[in-house]
Chains A and B, each alone.
Chain A
């Protein structure tokens, strides 16, 4: 792949995107689960395994994408500067802690798993942020989006999994509502930052195009359903279930867009057109695909 104008990167395809989709959901679930267990006494072994399965599925997809899969252990070599190495460590410890928590039912271990889940989720956000070649990733506004949606997805998935659980904490639905709201805020803040000249024109256009869907799918519909679930107990199960699915898919929609559709490369720029033969003429710059063209 090579283009003077910013075009969508093709170094990371749907498999890499899958890691962000599932990894965020899984780690978010682990975090919420720990709170539910610690504060509400929810039984967590099975849900914890589900959370790990999500994280594992994401990592498996990445493993499918890397060029030298049998060298995957080399991923651990650079925790000093690489967020990918750190993510790998976080994932490894998260898996160990999660399995141990599920095996033993220990509250301390689930708390540890949640903490590692938070680290993992943070690493995922930082992986994107450290990618200086992709304007839509390198801005700090991407961090809250990835984190907030992970939490929102985790909360939604927890609400879904614990639907039949009598000990389901009452704060779960209000938390989901808040998480949805925070996620929407982070997304629209992100969009604003991108539109302020921090991203190529094509990214800004794409963001404008997906905003309605994001607003609807990732916020308005699930939020409304959560409100309905809280207000009308008879409809609670079905409304919660649909809200949760919407919230998860809404988050995935946002992340898939960020990783695959908004991931335009920086593009190349020429600061000054060269002077040929007659010195001293000031000449314009060119940065094809960016607003200051």
Chain B
């Protein structure tokens, strides 16, 4: 290569154009950026500071975005379609990929797909013959152009073959969060919070630009955050205080906080009006644990202190009793519609039951479980109470709202698997007790994925018969229970809470789709392999728990189509590789603003364009062109265009009210420019009520179009008041019923392997020995061996969700952050074991072992070790030479460790031993 000497020194004066686009590589985005281009080559990334006034993170992008340039020009990028020539699949088989033309690749895929259409879209077990998996917490959707329209046009597709979600996401929060306050993810109202108790929420590493920006501002103004976690994370570092806690004991700490609030402070410390009017606290509980209801209306009853009688919960002008025992009559509706009429029985409100429930959960009790000094627990609880500001209000955009600047936030491993329910319940309850749920300063939800409509959280609010937020539970009644799963992970059958939105398949027990491959479940249809499996922006052979086991199962899939950036461990088993354009080569309009995941709370909402800053390299193709071609070749053109017209790309092209219509002709093939121009015009029109219809060219120039979004919309509370709704706290009558009904259905069908999961359905969840479950699982699986360490993982801002382990620059800068590339172990404990800095150590679970370099730190519990990120690559270029271990190699998939929501925790018991000296 010939180089030309240049006279300049920095980039400022040597850029031909700056192209506005966005980065949505992680769930905490999207964030806005510009690509600096010279001579048609992308040479750098900069934040889009022209959007600073609109974007809640100052118009910045995080370190990951800077990897995009290296991604585009990666020397090992797959740049032509390829086909496999070795029919044998497996880690140690050479796939023998050979380059082919797009035409040939599409012929091969269309043949398969047309074959499937001819045979039937469902297989003999009733499962879709076509499956599609992607990763990155759903972010790949913002890169896959019009493919969603093709998949929708196709018909049934199995979206539930997991990439690692469940253990890798805040799974309990997703499900329970949406149930209680339309909170697919939960955040503190960071700009106003004064006291944040964070149980391992690693916001400074995984909260994206907005999370980092908002928390930095909060620290600056004096917000105190107490970080409670076994290893001192980036977030722990940036907190006022780090409290090391024994893994999986977080619920006990929170229960003790609830105890302190209820037993060590006067009742007035709580937000009594909130509890009475906005929660189910006053609902009377009948003897079998279900609400006592009005005989006629079947509405739950509460005791009115004014009239001294039990009245339906929505009776105006009542003063509901929270505590006491009352003689009442009513109807108790239990399981499967069974109703019992009670006359003059003694009933107590849900709040009284709560008091009993936490009576013994003292800080002294929790201290022993959590291995945290009792004074610390009590002090944190008291500080939480002291900062609640009960009774105070704040004006937000002219509206007076309660001001409760306290919040509890939860990290990933706290928030999934066993104990996840208890954590989510306790966290939500802690907010509820002080009226700090969905109000300024308090604990907030962000967006909805299980409730509909997906792009309008406020619009998803609807009342349940009990006066709570309605919820789209999968049916558990006899008539409607889905006894034959529609996809391989059986989410509709096993997990009522997972709902049935377009996101639900990916939020079910996705690992079961893998587990069942080798361990067929009794009395469910035979597990099958999909005839055609599409994979995009995911690498389950690395990112799933028991990753090597998943790799083995993938190798048996008959036909795999992988959209490939480089070779990797999953597409090593593929039959066809398709090179799609990377981030800065392709075009897509995306909805931004409002309230999105994690900490994306905007004062604006609108649309941003991801656009091609450079020509597509090699033969790589824009995803929209790929999807259109697939639709053409499978005879689905009309249906595909129809799906686009109906909002398949995020915007309806024709307004229901008739204000605009940019529909595509359905029987015509459209170019990607035509498609996205129509989407852009519809988006502009939707945003401006039909006043403006700027198209693709406008977005290419300006990047972003927004309109103001009221901050009041960050909070559910005003809308709840307006609709007369209550938060379903503290008592979970609905879950109790659903659990018992599910048990009946499963037992009726002879399914006895989901028994442990059924125990999670408790109206008031009790503390269980959660750490013991992992200890027991390791013991049983190993035949009685002792595994003295907890192995945990932690997200890395440099890597998380980025599909960027092959990038040299990312590795280089990540190495500045302690712990990357090795295994963090407590320095004192390491010394006891004769392990020195940089020594090679073996980490072994009941499943298998991995090894890596010891990194000695003080900020970790002596019984815990930590592996940052997900590595152990054996195929991905560059990454395979890093010799960085991953807990996914040693974490077993275990039914025992699967909770009722179908998730487990990123947690495993291990042994540690030194096997070599530092290099």
Point out residues on A near B: beta carbons under 8 Å: 276-279
Contact = CB atoms under 8 A, between A and B. Distances in A.
A287 to B, nearest CB: 16
Interface in B205-241: 218-219, 222-225, 238-240
Contacts of A279: 222
Most chain B Cβ neighbours within 10 Å, of A277, A278, A279: A277
B419 to A, nearest CB: 28
A279 B224 CA distance: 10
* Top 5 A-B residue pairs of the complex, sorted by shortest distance between their CB atoms: A277-B240, A277-B224, A278-B240, A277-B219, A276-B219
Given A276-B238, A279-B222, 15 more contacts: A276-B219, A276-B225, A276-B239, A276-B240, A277-B218, A277-B219, A277-B222, A277-B223, A277-B224, A277-B225, A277-B239, A277-B240, A278-B222, A278-B224, A278-B240
Nearest to B225: A277
Nearest to B221: A277
A18 B239 CA distance: 51
A276 B237 CA distance: 9
17 contacts: A276-B219, A276-B225, A276-B238, A276-B239, A276-B240, A277-B218, A277-B219, A277-B222, A277-B223, A277-B224, A277-B225, A277-B239, A277-B240, A278-B222, A278-B224, A278-B240, A279-B222
A72 B225 CA distance: 57
A5 to B, nearest CB: 11
Nearest to B224: A277
Interface in B227-261: 238-240
Contacts of B239: 276-277
Contacts of A276: 219, 225, 238-240
A267 to B, nearest CB: 15
A277 B240 CA distance: 6
Nearest to B238: A276
B534 to A, nearest CB: 44
Nearest to B227: A276
A279 B222 CA distance: 7
Nearest to B818: A4
Nearest to A278: B240
A36 B218 CA distance: 77
B376 to A, nearest CB: 15
Contacts of A277: 218-219, 222-225, 239-240
Contacts of A278: 222, 224, 240
Contacts of B218: 277
A277 B238 CA distance: 9
A80 to B, nearest CB: 26
A106 B225 CA distance: 81
Contacts of B223: 277
A277 B224 CA distance: 5
Nearest to B240: A277
A135 to B, nearest CB: 22
Nearest to B226: A277
B706 to A, nearest CB: 32
A276 B218 CA distance: 10
Interface string B422-433: 000000000000
Interface in B776-815: none
Contacts of B240: 276-278
A277 B387 CA distance: 14
A110 B239 CA distance: 70
A275 to B, nearest CB: 8
Contacts of B219: 276-277
A30 B401 CA distance: 89
Nearest to A2: B816
Most chain B Cβ neighbours within 10 Å, of A276, A278, A279: A276
A175 B223 CA distance: 72
A225 B311 CA distance: 112
Most chain A Cβ neighbours within 10 Å, of B218, B225, B240: B240
Nearest to B194: A277
A236 to B, nearest CB: 50
B657 to A, nearest CB: 49
A267 B225 CA distance: 31
A19 B809 CA distance: 37
A276 B239 CA distance: 6
B194 to A, nearest CB: 9
A201 to B, nearest CB: 15
A124 B262 CA distance: 76
B408 to A, nearest CB: 16
Contacts of B224: 277-278
Interface in B648-700: none
A188 to B, nearest CB: 32
A293 B239 CA distance: 22
B755 to A, nearest CB: 46
B857 to A, nearest CB: 12
A71 to B, nearest CB: 16
B158 to A, nearest CB: 46
Nearest to A281: B240
Contacts of B238: 276
Nearest to A279: B222
A279 B220 CA distance: 10
Nearest to B816: A2
A286 to B, nearest CB: 12
Nearest to A273: B237
A80 B223 CA distance: 54
A278 B196 CA distance: 12
Contacts of B225: 276-277
B816 to A, nearest CB: 9
B217 to A, nearest CB: 11
A277 B235 CA distance: 13
B512 to A, nearest CB: 42
A115 B734 CA distance: 98
A170 B204 CA distance: 76
Nearest to B195: A277
Nearest to B223: A277
A276 B225 CA distance: 8
